[in-house]
Chains A and B, each alone.
Chain A
């Protein structure tokens, strides 16, 4: 199956793209996808502990099973609002 992986802020800058198309085996979990992306982009590994994950625009946990066509997002810690 294929999913879209969206990247924001520092992650986008590390990867050099705001979106990746990723192919993985049917039934793979979100965590497995993240592991694969981090293997491909080792500079993201240091951010794993603070990374938030979303599937189809809702926060999700690593054990959720992905489906073909899902929109996955890797989110740095948010920082909106006043500054």
Chain B
């Protein structure tokens, strides 16, 4: 029942978002706002895909950049060198990426007793291998970079911003729905069992190897398809930008850990908070500071809030919503930047309050009768 309700909610949200550009002028949305929303949806897709493998199975993947790169190059090669239609190339790029991921993972996962650290480090190395292959292979890139033109698309999708945005909506809905279906299925329970105690899971009859391979291929397949769409928005890319540990890989890790890896909602919340907040830094030409904040932030979050905010958010929805609205309004009254900047302030305030409240509630011995929004026990 919960699974069906979640799916229905996501699809309904998707339909609403899909028709948003049609009412852009009524709502006062600019093209930049639509593109901002597209990029946000791209990050939701990427973070959700990462979490399907890492969050559910517990094995860490630091090499999402590598598979993002494979997806980008697979789609460009299919479209430009083999004359495949753009819309057909999106699922195909996903298939190629997922297949490559599955084969590589097979080599590692057939060694049952190998520690997950080996896999984690291997994914780091993969990023570099991908880059060097793309650099030297003339048929992939050869170091010149690739230019992507806007493909022909049906008229009903609207102007360019609406077109890419609507693709982003569909992709995000597909990714989140897959994540929900896995989360509530036997497959998902198997993955959680692997995360908690792999040996026990194996003993209880969970086909661990098959599940790990399937989850990794699925995760990377979504990454590849999403990258195929994103290639149009990038318009130009080269191996050194794409196969970058500081790029997609660290962004999704940060989003999922801040949001929470144990629930399908975690990556979505994380992506919204982190992308909205950091895009402001990038806009103010503080991109390098963004990298520093993200890197140090990741280390700090591992110390103070390993499980992310999703659990606390669901325990205290009123408090979270209240702080979000209040801080956003305060920012508006104080006259900070545009609408997105104000929401960014609200989101950051919400995260801080949730973390501080959670930490205080668990440290302090609160008197009986403390209201729940202050961390008191549920009645």
Chains A and B bind each other: no
A residues neighboring B (CB under 8 Å):
none
B residues neighboring A (CB under 8 Å):
none
